[in-house]
């Protein structure tokens, strides 16, 4: 190797002197040196990649230190588990220097504490330190996840996707495809989000939230069939009130009133017995023109919740639409007796 390097430099010096003396430029010698230089660079890069492979193999043979870390012995981890992230930061910064064996794992906890406290620069610096220092692919994976979450929290979704994709190459973590999919949703790139959300649902068929957003993406690209299929599955699983209400509204908006009723009945089954739940059921039965169910439901609701303007508006509008004149006049008087006033009620009564 040394002999080749010495020979290359000798020929380089010769060519340099020719240029300095304005002698005729030796094109062949220049191309020869350049070709050897390029070949050496390629060889060096290949060797470096192979060394990196060995480092990665060596690292993956070692269990990540977090698995043997006792959180009860480190104050910062106790604070972290109690979601007292400001206190976790102060403790971890001190404890890292004392716990050298678990240094990088504690740096990850510190990075996520900065993330949850909304401290972008400190979190970024901490996660980058882990990436530059660790030989463990799992530690690197979570550092990339941390950076992805950090950029996502600050609405920098393109950068978030970049780091989540790097994390996805290192370890099979079903949260990562979901995070990539959601970043694409936030960028309104619904077609790009779909494969990642489908991957999430395939890995975890019970993920109702992923199913909801998958349906949302399908609807945005005009595929109602796939959207409603995803939502029908989601409403059997979801326990989040806001998402179930959103699905109910979407079904209602598209004229799928029976499906909207299923959403409200799911909310009932989850223990939501408020007036708006029963109102949603009655309203959609009314839109289906199933008067035998809708009418007694509305009248029972109005006897119980006499001051609920929205229920009055819905029932009076339906009675007007059905041309139920006798019943409309009866409930119009009751509405006036309860002194319910609203511009929409005035409009219905004048129609």
Domain final position from 171, 206, 232: 171
pLDDT at 280 over 50: yes
Same domain, 245 and 300: no
What's the whole-number average pLDDT of the chain? Answer: 87
Residue 41 domain-assigned?
A: yes
Instruction: Indicate the residue among 273, 307, 332 that finishes a domain.
Output: 273
Contacts of 346 (CB under 8 A, 6+ apart): none
Alpha-carbon distance values, 336 to 180, 256, 340 (Å): 54, 33, 6
**pTM to 2 decimal places:** 0.72
Query: Residue 61 pLDDT > 50, yes or no?
Result: no
Predicted local distance difference test score (pLDDT) of residue 207? 93
Same domain assignment for residues 264 and 346: no
287 domain-assigned: no
Range of the domain at 202: 174-273
CA pair distance 91, 114, nearest whole angstrom: 13
Pick from 76, 68, 66, 141: which is nearest to 104 by CA?
66
My answer on whether 119 and 51 are in the same domain is no
Q: Any idea what the CATH number is for the domain that residue 255 is in? A: 1.25.40.10
In a domain? residue 285:
no
278 belongs to a structural domain: no
Report the percentage of the chain scoring pLDDT > 70.
Answer: 81
Query: Is residue 281 included in any domain, yes or no?
Result: no
Helices (runs of H) and strands (runs of E) counted in the chain: 19, 0
Least confident of 2-6, 75-79, 123-127, 232-236: 2-6
With a cut of 60, say whether residue 62 has pLDDT above it: no
pLDDT of residue 231: 93
The two tokens of residue 91 are 């403790």
Token representation of residue 226:
């796939």
Per-residue confidence band for 311, with pLDDT thresholds at 50, 70 and 90: very high
Residues 201 and 240 both lie in one domain? yes
In a domain, 81, yes or no: yes
CA dihedral 107, 110, 116, 118 (to 10 degrees): -90
Tell me, what's the pLDDT at 251?
92
Of 273, 308, 334, which residue constitutes the final position of a domain?
A: 273
**DSSP-assigned letters across all residues of 35-76:** HHHHHHHHHHHHHHHHHHHHHHHHHHHSPPGGGG--GGG-HH
* Dist CA 29 CA 164 (whole Å): 47
- The answer as to whether 262 is a domain residue is yes
Residue 82 located in a structural domain: yes
- From CA 199, how far away is CA 316, in angstroms rounded? 47
Number of domains in the chain: 4
Q: What is the CA radius of gyration of the chain?
A: 33
19 and 100 fall within a common domain: no
Token pair 């070949």 in the structure block, residue:
39
Per-residue confidence (pLDDT) for residue 234, from 0 to 100? 92
């Amino acid at each position: 190797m040394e002999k080749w390097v010495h020979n290359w430099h000798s020929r380089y010096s010769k060519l340099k002197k020719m240029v300095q003396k304005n002698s005729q430029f030796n094109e062949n010698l220049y191309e020869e040196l350049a070709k050897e230089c390029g070949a050496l660079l390629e060889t060096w890069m290949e060797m470096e990649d192979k060394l990196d492979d060995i480092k990665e193999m060596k690292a993956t043979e070692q269990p990540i230190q977090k698995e043997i870390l006792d959180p009860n012995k480190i104050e910062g981890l106790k604070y972290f588990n109690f979601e007292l992230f400001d206190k976790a930061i102060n403790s971890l910064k001190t404890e890292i220097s004392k716990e050298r064996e678990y240094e990088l794992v504690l740096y990850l906890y510190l990075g996520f504490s900065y993330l949850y406290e909304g401290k972008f620069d400190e979190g970024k610096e901490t996660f980058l330190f882990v990436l530059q220092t660790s030989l463990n692919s799992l530690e690197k994976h979570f550092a990339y996840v941390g950076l992805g979450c950090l950029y996502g929290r600050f609405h920098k979704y393109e950068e978030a996707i970049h780091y989540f994709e790097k994390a996805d190459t290192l370890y099979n973590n079903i949260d990562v495809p979901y995070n990539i999919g959601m970043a694409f949703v936030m960028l309104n790139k619904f077609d790009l989000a779909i494969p990642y959300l489908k991957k999430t649902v395939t890995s975890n068929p019970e993920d109702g939230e992923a199913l909801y957003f998958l349906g949302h993406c399908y609807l945005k690209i005009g595929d109602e069939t796939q959207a409603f299929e995803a939502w029908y599955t989601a409403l059997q699983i979801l326990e989040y009130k806001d998402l179930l209400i959103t699905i109910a509204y979407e079904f209602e908006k598209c004229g799928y009133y029976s499906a909207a009723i299923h959403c409200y009945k799911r909310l009932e089954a989850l223990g939501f017995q408020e007036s708006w739940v029963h109102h949603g059921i009655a309203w959609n039965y009314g839109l289906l023109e199933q008067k035998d169910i809708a009418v007694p439901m509305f009248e029972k609701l109005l006897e119980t919740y006499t001051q609920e303007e929205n229920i009055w508006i819905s029932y009076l509008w339906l009675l007007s639409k059905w041309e139920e004149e006798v019943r409309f006049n009866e409930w119009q008087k009751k509405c006036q007796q309860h002194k319910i006033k609203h511009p929409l009620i005035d409009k219905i009564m004048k129609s």
